[in-house]
């Protein structure tokens, strides 16, 4: 989960991690959420964890490091097929995008903005991974997004346990540390990624769930001249991706309809347009009916301007 740095804590280049050592313990749910975000960027640690979902139980080894202000995370599954996920780079935030409709910090969490779409409350203290934690409940105010429950380490603010809940309050996934080894505060600043403008093209969503805005991507990952278009939309806490590309003999076609990918869903639509077949994919950890509607109401608007989200 990516969480945003509060305006008072950030400079034009990044956040000074040693400030966390001098901050008093949070007293509200919003303050705990901010502390968790900062801890997730600023602490260096090793951990063991377990992930529980409908697909079963998997154990993982986690490594979180910061070098020269750049965060590097590695998650290695310890059972089942050998899989390693790695993510590294600067924090996406405080970008200088000039495009209309772009919220430059939307891929991260703005705790105040999240309060418009989620109810944040504190629960009691519990012991997780041998450490004292406090529970933070994040309840959606509508049926357009999922809920979250976090158990935050009282000493560091790191999330020791995370639960994703569907719109009926059922648990979709539990991620829990079983051991947190030597969390150490990075002694310098973590850096922000500077974001530039990218053309968005004429395909625009005719409907967006309330609160979701177009968000910048630090790196499109697209080859020069690629016909693939990728856009990210976020409400400040959760996000979904929209992919649009013309199908050809060399393009792999997905079966139209709704596909489940672990706890995520992908809504796939094929749309004839100007003698070509366009493939539209909307994917994310959102209620499937939301993704299906976004895909169904995508429009071709050559001179489109900002799209206002609807409730």
pLDDT in tens, 163-184: 999 999 999 999 999 999 999 9
Nearest-CA neighbor of 181 among 160, 161, 154? 160
Same domain for 121 and 234: no
The answer to whether 100 touches 213, Cβ cutoff 8 Å, is: no
Which residues, other chains included, contact 131 with Cβ-Cβ below 8 Å and sequence gap of 6+? 153, 154, 155, 160, 180
55 within some domain: yes
Domain end point (choices 170, 190, 210): 190
What per-residue confidence (pLDDT) applies to 300? 86
Report the DSSP beta bridge partners of residue 176: 50, 161
Count of structural domains within the chain: 2
Nearest-CA neighbor of 279 among 287, 270, 292, 289? 270
3-state helix, strand, coil in the chain (%, to 5): 10, 50, 40
Domain end point (choices 138, 159, 190): 190
Q: Which whole number is the average pLDDT over 229-254?
A: 87
**Which two tokens mark 51?**
């992930």
The answer to whether 55 touches 24, Cβ cutoff 8 Å, is: no
Q: How far apart are CA 282 and CA 242, in angstroms?
A: 5
12 within some domain: yes
Same domain for 99 and 222: no
On the question of pLDDT at 17 being above 90, the answer is yes
Same domain for 218 and 167: no
292 within some domain: yes
Same domain for 262 and 180: no
pLDDT in tens, 113-151: 788 999 999 999 999 999 999 999 999 999 999 999 999
Domain that holds residue 150: 7-190
What global pTM score does this model have?
A: 0.82
What per-residue confidence (pLDDT) applies to 223? 45
Centroid of chain to Cα 280: 21
What per-residue confidence (pLDDT) applies to 77? 95
């Amino acid at each position: 989960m990516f969480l945003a740095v509060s305006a008072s804590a950030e400079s034009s280049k990044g956040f000074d991690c040693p400030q966390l050592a001098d901050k008093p313990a949070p007293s509200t749910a919003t303050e705990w959420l901010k502390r968790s975000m900062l801890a997730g960027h600023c602490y260096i640690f090793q951990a063991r964890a377990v992930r529980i979902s409908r697909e079963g139980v998997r154990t993982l080894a986690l490594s979180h490091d910061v070098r020269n202000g750049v965060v590097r995370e590695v998650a290695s599954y310890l059972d089942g097929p050998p899989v390693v996920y790695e993510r590294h780079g600067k924090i996406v935030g405080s970008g200088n995008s000039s495009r209309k409709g772009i919220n430059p910090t939307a891929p991260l969490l703005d705790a105040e903005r999240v309060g418009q779409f989620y109810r944040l409350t504190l629960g009691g203290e519990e012991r997780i991974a041998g450490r004292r934690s406090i529970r933070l409940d994040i309840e959606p105010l509508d049926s357009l997004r999922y809920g979250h429950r976090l158990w935050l380490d009282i000493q560091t603010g790191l999330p020791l346990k995370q639960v994703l809940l569907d719109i009926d309050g059922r648990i979709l996934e539990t991620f829990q540390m079983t051991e947190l080894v030597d969390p150490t505060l990075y002694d310098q600043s973590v850096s922000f990624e500077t974001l530039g403008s990218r053309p968005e093209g004429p395909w625009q969503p005719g409907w967006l769930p309330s609160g979701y805005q177009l968000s910048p991507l630090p790196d499109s990952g697209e080859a020069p001249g690629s016909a693939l278009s990728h856009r990210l939309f976020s409400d400040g806490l959760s996000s979904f991706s929209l992919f649009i590309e013309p199908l050809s003999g060399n393009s792999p076609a997905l079966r139209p309809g709704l596909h489940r990918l672990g706890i995520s869903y992908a809504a796939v639509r094929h749309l004839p347009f100007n003698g070509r077949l366009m493939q539209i994919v909307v994917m994310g950890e959102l209620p499937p009916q939301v993704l299906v509607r976004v895909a169904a109401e995508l429009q071709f608007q050559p001179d489109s301007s900002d799209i206002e989200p609807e409730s």
